[in-house]
Amino acid sequence: MTSKALATALVACGLSAAACGGGATAAGPARDAEPAPRAANPATAPSGPAAETAPATTARTTPPAAGTTSAKPLSGKTVVIDPGHNGANYKYPAKINKQVDVLTQRKACDTTGTATNSGYSEAAFTWDVSRRLEKILESRGATVKLTRHGNNGVGPCITERAAIGNKAKANAAISIHADGAGPADHGFHVIIPKKIGGPVDPVVADSRRLGIDVRNAYRSGTGIPYSTYVGSKALSFRNDLGGLNLSTVPKIFIETGNMRNAGDAAKLESPEFRQRIATALANGLQTYLR
């Protein structure tokens, strides 16, 4: 190569690193891989709702070019959040105990839910976490719909909760709960639908993927262990829940912890920890939807 040709080649390399060598990309983790747990020390703040924590942001060193926009990770996705129970359900026993058809059996329209020993209700907890999750998902570009719009009402029935997700044609739906098991039982679990020869059958496989992604994100984001009393590796498959049986979109339930266990209850009562729960759920949903 002449000295003039060598100089020309060196200039070309300086202008374009890609012209002189390629980069490798790493493969992502397997979906079924179990996450490394994050410490789950409960906060000591009071149990009332806390101010929302803004999502972390990364400083931009170079402004985007004029006329361009940075796409958010969940743009174009619709998520339905179903906050379990409702704050005034206990006032209307005749209404919530009305039997409805969930295809595999008949069940009560809705239930009151459980509470911690200090009186913090499951309905208040699910509403608080759902609102936090809603804000996080919207900040990431998702369209979010809730099955109820406050914690002072009754219902809706489990059949209506499923219909809301179906009507929205949600890309994913999640029903948020906390369990009321024995005081020695602790941990969380995700409930996934089973095939029943009904409308949920076409989305059972996708619901399983959603459940695994949420399970992994919840474990690593909150540090709460897998349930010691339900399911295998925090996964439980059921065919008796109307909210799942009647769903035509990928949907799961999550029992975020056991409110009757002192250790779990201390976490669920903490506003700061509820923010961690919401963030972990958002991360699991985003993993599934990306």
Q: Are 202 and 260 in contact (CB under 8 A)?
A: no
d(CA 124, CA 87): 7
Between CA 269 and CA 154, with CA 120 as vertex, the angle to 5 degrees is 125
Amino acid 31: pLDDT: 54
Determine whether 52 is an active site residue: no
Catalytic residue among 160, 255, 269, 272: 255
The lowest-confidence range among 67-81, 178-192, 229-243 is: 67-81
Q: Are 191 and 204 in contact (CB under 8 A)?
A: no
Q: Are 133 and 79 in contact (CB under 8 A)?
A: no
Q: Give residue-wise pLDDT tens across range 10-59.
A: 333 343 333 333 333 333 444 555 555 555 454 433 334 333 333 443 44
The helix/strand/coil state of 17 is helix
Q: What strands lie across the sheet with 235-238, from one edge to the other?
A: 143-146, 78-83, 172-179, 251-258, 189-193, 235-238
Residue appearing with tokens 């209307």: 92
pTM beyond 0.85: no
d(CA 194, CA 34): 22
How much helix, strand and coil, in percent to the nearest 5, is found in the chain? Answer: 35, 15, 50
Q: Give residue-wise pLDDT tens across range 45-93.
A: 333 433 333 344 344 444 444 444 468 999 999 999 999 999 999 999 9
Amino acid 14: pLDDT: 40
Tokens for 114? 């459980």
The domain spans of the chain are 73-289
Amino acid 114: pLDDT: 99
What is residue 202's DSSP assignment? G
Superfamily of domain 73-289: Zn-dependent exopeptidases (3.40.630.40)
Q: Which of 232, 95, 249, 105 is nearest to 175 (CA)?
A: 249
Amino acid 69: pLDDT: 47
Amino acid 55: pLDDT: 41
Tokens for 172? 């994913």
